[in-house]
Chains A and B, each alone.
Chain A
Amino acid sequence: MKIKVTDREGNKHELEGDTNSTLMEILRDANLDIEAACGGCCACATCHVYIKDEWLDKISGKDDDEESMLDQAFDVKHTSRLSCQISLSEDLDGIEIELAPE
């Protein structure tokens, strides 16, 4: 499955995803500039991404934990998600995302 990422400089990357990983893990392992300080336990907001609108419905919704961690992020939009909380599935093949400001 493919993941299309726009980084903070506007460069586009196409990454290979797999259904055993979270979105954060794919971004981190591709050495994109994503801190993911807590390692994926939804305890920081350093894996903040924007999901392209048309993909939002395909992803399971935010829980309270994620919503409250997003309070520590900058420029939160309705498309904001913490990428560690998104488990990849075949439905998400081709998903387009953008890295949020650090």
Chain B
Amino acid sequence: MIEKTDVIVIGAGPVGLFAIFELGLLNITCHVIDNLDKPGGQCAELYPEKPIYDIPSRVKITGQQLTDDLLAQAKPFNPVYHLNQQVEKIAKLETNEWIVETSNNKKLQAKCIVIAAGAGSFVPRKIPIANLDNLDGKKILYAVRNKSLLENKKILIVGGGDSALDWTNELSKIADVTLMHRRKEFRAAPDSVSKMLELENDKKINFLLGQIDNIVESKNDKLKVTVKNNDEKIDLEVDYLLPFFGLKMELGPIANWGLNLDENLIKVDTEKFETSVSSIFAIGDINAYPGKLKLILSGFHEAALMAQQCFKYCYPDKKNVFRYTTSSKDLHKKLNS
């Protein structure tokens, strides 16, 4: 089934969220796609608790507060969020509309695409050892999609954050789990840490101090992981390795859409913030133009101008009457409903 909307916004960071509002003011509806499991982008993922000081009128606001407020501001326009998925492919129809396909095989149809993807989508950080690609997704799992695969297996989990600890605690019920971290302090939630320490105490899991030194595929379908702790090295033989080193950002499939790029950024004009392909826009940190400043503030401005041009694509026969939100009866009706 193909879901139809006016505009598909790629990226639910602050600029993508504000784009919903600006488009909404012009009666343009949006679907929003993001690879993370929650809206907010970097603000919510990297620095939810850190203060931002350069949002106009907000003397000081955290990444999470800003996200929450932008979500509330966008809400009256009923955006549809498609989280935990990445846009894989786009195709143009004869009607000049776009079909966008996500990694969850969701298909969306829209008149315009707005790329507000920041520094790209968040993906797990991989182990920087050469020649591991053939083990990726087979023996080295950066995400657990199918728990039953791990039943009664010998597993090495690496990391000290929430993902590492949560999976250690969860998989201890069905598998032989060793957790390895470079120190015996963890940034994961205190509850998960005490649960893990309890499991270690009851010998339900092993804890190992150390870091990955090398990985090779050994016979009988196992991995030989060389682990080092200071100058000491030992080899571990395991069925699966689950490394959790946080997330990094990658431009991903967008790089192959035929847009004019400047390194990893998308070139746009500064009138409409449209890319080299008509009806595809790029706003926020992902775009490039002379004088670009990577500020949330700039992204907000870009969203407002982009929306003016989207209106022309979405309502080619209608006149766009410029109205302030203070006096727009239409808007007041929406906000009060």
Contact = CB atoms under 8 A, between A and B. Distances in A.
* A interface secondary structure, majority: loop
A68 B193 CA distance: 14
Interface string A38-55: 110101111000000000
B119 A37 contact: yes
A72 interface: yes
A101 B248 CA distance: 14
B161 A37 contact: no
A71 B182 contact: yes
Interface residues of A, number: 20
A14 interface: no
Interface string A68-100: 101111111000000000000000000000000
A33 interface: no
Contacts, number: 51
Given A68-B185, A71-B160, 14 more contacts: A41-B47, A41-B50, A43-B50, A45-B246, A46-B248, A68-B160, A68-B187, A71-B161, A71-B187, A72-B161, A74-B211, A74-B245, A101-B128, A102-B128
27 contacts: A35-B248, A37-B46, A37-B119, A37-B248, A37-B249, A38-B46, A39-B294, A43-B46, A44-B46, A44-B246, A45-B246, A67-B183, A67-B185, A68-B185, A71-B160, A71-B161, A71-B181, A71-B182, A71-B186, A72-B125, A72-B161, A72-B245, A73-B245, A74-B128, A74-B211, A74-B212, A76-B211
